[in-house]
Amino acid sequence: MLDNSLIRLGLSTLLAAIPIAVWLFITLKQGPSSKKIALMVFGFGCITAPALLGLQVVWEGKTALILALIPIVGLSILIVDSYAKKAILAILFILGIASNYLEKIKWIWTIKIPQFNLQSAIDSNASSYITATILSLLLFVILEENIKLYVMRTIDRKTLYISKINDAMIYAIAAALGFSFVENIYYLYSLWPTISTGELVTMYVFRGIFTTAAHMTYSGIFGYYYGIGKFSMVINQQNLIAGDHDRISQIISKIFNIPPSEAFRQKMVLKGLFIAMTMHFSINFMLQLQMDYGIQILLPIVILTNIGMYLFLQYLMDRKAGHLILLVDPSTKKRSTMVKKDEDVVIELMTMWLKDQKYVDVIHICERLLERDPDNNVVKMFKAKAMDEMDEKNIYKKVLGTIIKTNDDLSSSDKSIISKYVSQNETQKKTQKTPEPKKEPQNEQQKPPIAQKKDILENLTGEGTFKL
């Protein structure tokens, strides 16, 4: 039965689909903005693996140029937005296929692609087997991760496709699952007739669980940094307020004469790509050494590393900052009731509290400020950062992690917990030795800066909202 290539391909596809379906369900369960877009990205990811295989065929040379152009033009039809461009590409696509059958234009198939086999160049010029292995692995790691980057840029051509940092991570994971799905089909189809049933099962389990999870992790962590770069304007603004100056972004901005936020975005994308390629290469290199030299200790190291990377990916996806919807439709954005000068003062005060680890105070004031300015992305980022920094066992994190609009929205238990925290703060401050009170300033302008900030804060958030 396995001698029939179609049956073997069908069985390989079915078996490869089982672990991918489980991973895809787990990924989509974490809530992307659009499951349809995530599935579309998965489809694009499925195309990337044949593209790399096709590239290896092209490397051998003597391949008709039209044979390489037809799938590229076909894929471009799906990507471009303009109907005029779609029509032109469709005509070229039809002519390309028809050129194999029409005698008058059949000569197009005689135009061959020049040979540029990088793999052969590495094998023939490398000074040792280890050097050849390293260069070969680097070559394919760079190709794989960059083609996934291309998928991300393609689906991100419309801003609303990625509205949260977690969206970028989930879409990157979906692309990786598509790539892994087709790759697993290829391995099952190729190796099934040549290895024993036990070896086939071992390979299937390892690739279905660990290799697929590794692809997800590489792409997911890249997606995290891509998402940070996506919202570079907001994050860069927050960093400036907090006094964090990114020297690398400043250098990139000056060299390429681009805005600081764009320099920060490019830095984050390149950083994510570099981390993904480094992890991918490290895992592949250890597996290659284990296969070539029988270093058995490397296999459990690879498995434990994969588990650790996946847990780190889940940690990134659970962070509050990743769930913020940072893109707001200008037509629906509410105008702030806060004066810009007062807002700057309050944010400066929040920065001080964040550095002093007063996370509950930061979260509480952010809730009040968002009542007045619900679309303030910088305030949202401060709240998310405070939530991420708090200890998971902190009871206030569980209470204040919910969306609180007014005191009336709080349950009696929530109020008592917050009141208890406030009273504890007051008791601690009373027990501390306080300096002799100074004479009150005669007017508002003569008050010290910290007193002015507290007055502004009390006016903005309501009398008796919380005590400091």
SS3 content of the chain, % helix, strand, coil (to 5): 75, 0, 25
Residues facing residue 63 across a β-bridge? 113
Position 174, amino acid: A
Residue 61 near residue 119 (C-beta atoms within 8 A) = no
Spatial distance between the Cα atoms of 461 and 468, rounded to a whole number of angstroms: 13
Closest CA to 276 of 345, 217, 322, 210: 217
Cα–Cα distance between 220 and 210 in angstroms, integer? 15
Phi and psi, residue 37, nearest 5° = -65, -40
The token duo for 285 is: 């290199």
Phi, psi (degrees; rounded to nearest 5) at 248: -65, -45
Tokens of 97: 């296929």
Closest CA to 94 of 62, 57, 66, 113: 66
Contacts of 136 (CB under 8 A, 6+ apart): 119, 122, 123
Q: Which two tokens stand for residue 195?
A: 């290895």
Token pair, residue 344, equals: 């700057």
Contact yes or no for 188/194 (Cβ under 8 A): no
Q: For tokens 């609009």, what's the residue?
A: 405
Q: How far apart are the C-alpha atoms of 220 and 227, rounded to whole Å? A: 10
List, in sequence order, every beta strand (DSSP E) within 37-141: 63-64, 112-113
**Pair of tokens at residue 69:** 């152009």
CA neighbours closer than 13 Å in the CB half-sphere of residue 160: 4
Angle at 25 between CA 22 and CA 26, to 5 degrees: 90
Q: Where are the alpha helices (DSSP H) in 231-339?
A: 232-241, 247-256, 260-293, 298-318
Predicted confidence at residue 25, as pLDDT, reads 92
Given a contact cutoff of 8 angstroms between Cβ atoms, the answer to whether 237 and 329 are in contact is no
Collect all residues with Cβ–Cβ distance below 8 Å to 386 and sequence separation of at least 6.
Answer: 354, 359, 362, 363, 366
Give the pLDDT confidence score for residue 418 in this predicted structure.
40
Within 13 Å, how many C-alpha atoms sit on residue 252's CB side?
15
Measured between alpha carbons, how far is 20 from 22 in angstroms, rounded to an integer? 5
pLDDT score recorded for residue 332: 42
The pair of three-digit structure tokens given for residue 159, joined into one six-digit string: 């801003």
**pLDDT truncated to tens, each residue of the chain (468 aa)?**
567 788 888 999 999 999 999 999 998 887 766 788 888 889 988 988 887 777 777 776 677 888 778 877 887 887 777 888 889 989 988 988 888 888 888 888 888 877 777 777 887 888 888 898 899 899 889 988 888 888 888 777 654 567 788 888 999 999 999 999 999 999 999 888 888 888 999 999 999 999 999 999 999 999 988 888 877 666 665 565 555 667 888 888 888 888 877 888 888 889 999 999 999 999 999 999 988 888 888 889 998 998 999 998 888 888 766 666 554 433 444 555 555 556 666 666 677 777 777 777 777 777 777 776 676 766 777 777 777 777 665 655 555 554 443 444 444 444 444 444 445 555 555 555 445 555 544 454 455 555 554 554 455 445 444 443
How is residue 356 written in tokens? 């002093």
Q: Can you count the helices (H) and strands (E) in the chain?
A: 19, 2
CB-neighbour burial class of residue 59 (10 A; exposed 0-12, middle 13-18, buried 19+): middle
Q: Are 195 and 203 in contact (CB under 8 A)?
A: yes
How many angstroms separate the CA atoms of 250 and 257, rounded? 10
Terminal CA-to-CA distance of the chain, rounded, Å?
77
Q: Tell me the whole-structure pTM to 2 decimals.
A: 0.66
Q: What is the dihedral of CA 317, 218, 215, 122, to 10 degrees?
A: 170
pLDDT in tens, 290-307: 888 888 888 899 989 989
Q: How many residues does the chain have?
A: 468
What is the C-alpha to C-alpha distance for residues 280 and 218, in angstroms, rounded to an integer? 7
Class of residue 32 by CB neighbours under 10 A (exposed 0-12, middle 13-18, buried 19+) = buried
